[in-house]
Copies of this chain bind each other. A is one copy, B any other.
């Protein structure tokens, strides 16, 4: 972080020909500044790569900065693996990480209400959390680098996988195994705001079916809460259909693992009676011999951490919108349907 060069608020006030208080109000979105002045100061700040931060002078002096990592939960493998990747890279650059858990509504509220007022960080990394327009506006008022890991957030820098493609990889594998009646178990967002991943994976699912000339039957799409329990429940629902599918694309490996418990308890053979494919390549998938679509979660984390460092240190980057590839991992839960 020692290589960072940035102006402080005093320099910016001098450049703009206004008081430091005016600069502060303009950058923080506080009242008492005309829109024209606010616009002029923000543009000047952008042009001069100014970042509002109490650490700015410390950074310029060569000591450590800190970055906030915002997560909706840690116990899920996806989040903990992502965070470990982000933290590893930032620590190796001697940047401290402040962890903000926004699992409950009050935590979410406090984070978005208070963090912009505190401004103790040089950047905020949001991990796969859907953000409302108002929340995005509050984040932007902080005038620090905002990076999304595992999703997108407006035009902000991000690292993610393409969930439409991931779903197509899964469904195409089932189509190649000659399945003609394919179901999907999707998840419902725990938030009012929708996650993009369930929407994108459903788009990919439907696109792959259409491309294969197969019908898209909404009856074969079941939505459940996150987690293995949801998967188990969804499979029971699917098995009670008059004409169940012969293969199921599960939103995640945890969902897939739940479906396999239900199939085992119903005395059905996998993949003979039902093929199952997930997404993630969760450690569980290897353990349960699950066919899945691998997404590089730790690498999304390290790439997001590196992106933050590159931006803070003004290094040239090819793109700030990074999409990492996914790939099919064939194990033993998929095969041709019994004839």
Binding site for B on A (CB under 8 A): 66, 69, 73-77, 79-81, 83-84, 87-88, 91-92, 94, 96-101, 103, 107, 110, 120, 227-228, 257-258, 261, 283-284, 286-289, 298
Contacts and interface: CB of A to CB of B under 8 A. Distances in A.
A99 B101 contact: no
Given A87-B101, A92-B107, 4 more contacts: A75-B84, A79-B80, A83-B99, A261-B289
Best-buried of A101, A261, A298 by chain B (most CB within 10 Å): A101
A99 B100 contact: no
A73 B73 CA distance: 16
B87 A99 contact: yes
A286 B77 contact: no
A69 B119 CA distance: 21
A211 to B, nearest CB: 33
B75 A81 contact: yes
B91 A100 contact: yes
Contact of A98 (B98, B261, B286): B98
A286 B228 contact: yes
A107 B84 contact: no
B73 A84 contact: yes
A35 B97 CA distance: 37
Contacts of A77: 75, 77, 80
Contacts of A94: 110
Contacts of A289: 261
Contacts of A99: 69, 83, 87, 97-99
